[in-house]
Structure 1
Amino acid sequence: MSAEQSPDGYLFDVYRRYIGEPEDRTDIYAGFSLFLGGIGLGIISLVLFLWSTNYAARSDAYFTWTEPAYALVMVALPILMLGIVVLLPSERRVQYASIAGVAVTVVAVGGFLYAYPTDWNGYGADYTAEVIAVYAVGLAALTASTGAALIAHYLDMAREAQRIEPTDDAESESYTDEEIQSDIDAAMEDVELSWGGVQKTEHKRLSFSENEFDEVDVDSVGTKTTRSSGVDAQVAGLKGLKGGDTKTTTSSATVDDQTQKLKELREQQRAEELATDDSSGLVAAVTGRLASLRNRLGRN
């Protein structure tokens, strides 16, 4: 048994493919047996008729082979049609009508065997018309029941298709938040963006403006140096504290010295910028240097 075949067997797979879901296992076995049996009888009758052509017409050997060939083909067609009715999910009364039609055709076949060949087709009493009439009645009943079963089956299929068809044609598809996020992640997988939507570039350069520290006014920053010498200077200082003499302070550092120190600080800051790729740490270091410088200038 193949991997795709159902446990019920090949016949049930064929039934589900061309007809639908089976309702009764007995009907399936009986229906396929009758259908395939009718085909088999038709093939056998054809072989017997072809074999009868080897003999002279209307000879005893000829009738020996043609009589069963005609009888079998007359039975094969009703049995095949009955198998179709049994296989289709039709009502029981339709099946009973089909069985009745098959019974009438079997009676006609019996009449044929009685009349052929001595009372058949212009010979003897010639019961040809009577036998064909009975056979036609049975075949007509069988044809009507088969047609009713086919129409009922197609109507059932149409109702089933209408039942499962969605009633709201304008129904839109809905997506969950997880599906939407998954689609966004898949679309952005190959896109490299930094903050602000600017495409990321692979390099480690940091640049600052040449006038980064131009706002620092070094001219306004001065240092005060207080010098005292001996007891006289100390006495003068005490007098100044008492409100007497005013203490005079002078600065030994010049503007050129301060400017040189600031230039050295800028060069050191640029060297640190080239040595690291962390912009935030670099800015913090420069800010710390400036704060330290200002504190030093303030202390001096």
Structure 2
Amino acid sequence: MAAEQAADGYLFDLYRRYIGEPEDRTDVYVGFGLFLGGIGLAIVGLLLFLWGNTFEARTAGYFAWVGPAYALAMTALPVTMLGIVTLLPSERRMLYASIGGVAITLAAVAGFLAAYPHHWNGYGNDYTVEIIATYAVGLAGITASTGAALIAHYLDMAQQADAVATGDETEAEPELTDADVRQDIDEAMEGVELSWGGVEKTEHKRLSFSENDFDDVDVDTDAGTTTTRSTGVDAQVAGLKGLKGGETKQTTSSSTVDDQTAKLKELREQRRAEELATADDEGVAATVTKPLSSLLERVRNAFGRN
């Protein structure tokens, strides 16, 4: 049992090495059987021919051994070629053509055994030409089918090789290393300087404002704003993300837009009232101080004349 499994494995290994992946196990067994059987027939025919030549030519012993030797040799060649066609993954019509050629050659071999030696090569009715012509037709048919199967197999292998090569060229892409990725990032970020939070980086460390930037701005401490703070780990992480620009902390106010607008109007009216009061105080002071100034000027003039 183990020997049979080893033999099966060896046959399939040979098939995969020289032909390809087998489509049917039966074709592998039959193909190798015919191929090796044809070689075996040729070896047996050669041995019989050598043994027959030990007898005197054209004696009964000579014809008894040489006749079967010729028949085995004539059968070995078409059987071996049929095994090749069976092994190759060719179309069925090629296999049928090969089988037909083998059948014709076997008919010619049978005619040879019937005619040899009494009706062969100038003796008796001499069927030599007819038998050889029949054998040649069958051999030509099986030769043509074998050649067609071999050509089809090689073309199929060439197409598969081209497809694999084309696929490798198409799918092959240069491998990116960490250095290449870092270089691409550096090139993309070249000339861009950002600090935490996505704010553009500046070279100075000062903040300057014009005198009138905050004239119309009122910070209302009584607006009812509420700020929510938490001291947990999640809150700390959220704060860090806010610094980095990923998230921002929001402060909500309970006052509405109308409330803020009303307070701004109230502030402006208050400032206008203060300005008007200041102007009135300056007018009253001028009214009071102007007569006194005139009286003092007259007194100085009087004493100066004296």
Same fold (TM over 0.5): yes
Tell me whether 1:160 sits opposite 2:160 in the alignment: yes
Cα distance in 2, alignment partners of residues 157 and 91 from structure 1: 15
- The amino acid of 2:175's aligned partner reads S
**In structure 1, what is the Cα distance between the partners aligned to 2:30 and 2:109?**
23
Q: Deviations over 1:41-73 (max 9, x none)?
A: 000000000001110000000000001100000
Percent identical residues: 66
1:103 aligned to 2:142?
Answer: no
Which sits farther off after the overlay, 163-172 or 132-141?
163-172
Which residue matches 2:59? 59
Letter in 1 for 2:62: Y
Question: What amino acid is aligned across from residue 99 of structure 1 in structure 2?
Answer: I
| Equivalent residue, structure 2, for 1:38 | 38
TM-score, structure 2 length as denominator? 0.55
Write the distance in 2 (CA, Å) between the matches of 1:161 and 1:95: 25
User: Equivalent residue for 1:133?
Assistant: 133
Q: Hey, what's the Cα distance between the residues in 1 that align with 2:55 and 2:142?
A: 35
Task: Extract structure 1 runs of 4+ deviating beyond 2 A.
Answer: 5-8, 166-173, 175-181
Residue 92 of structure 2 aligns with an amino acid whose one-letter code is R
CA distances 1:168-227 after superposition (whole Å, capped 9, x unpaired): 75854214549999xxxxxxxxxxxxxxxxxxxxxxxxxxxxxxxxxxxxxxxxxxxxxx
Pairs within 5 Å for 1:185-204:
none
Letter matched to residue 160 of structure 1: Q
Cα distance in 2 between the residues matched to 1:70 and 1:7: 32
Q: Distance in 2 between matches of 1:178 and 1:23?
A: 48
Q: TM-score, normalised by structure 1?
A: 0.56
| Count of matched residue pairs | 179
| 1:1-300 equivalence runs, <5 A | 9-166=9-166, 169=169, 171-177=172-178
Residue 147 of structure 1 deviates from its aligned partner by 0.4
CA, structure 1 residues 180+36, in 2 after alignment: closer, same or farther (shift >3 Å)? farther
Q: Match of 2:10, as an amino acid?
A: Y
- Structure 2 gaps of 5+ residues are 183-306
Counterpart residue type for residue 125 of structure 1: N
Show structure 1 runs of 5+ residues with no match. 182-300
Deviation of 1:165 (Å): 1.0
Amino acid at match of 2:66: T
Alpha carbons 1:81, 1:146 under 8 Å: kept = yes
- Distance across 1 between alignment mates of 2:15 and 2:179: 42
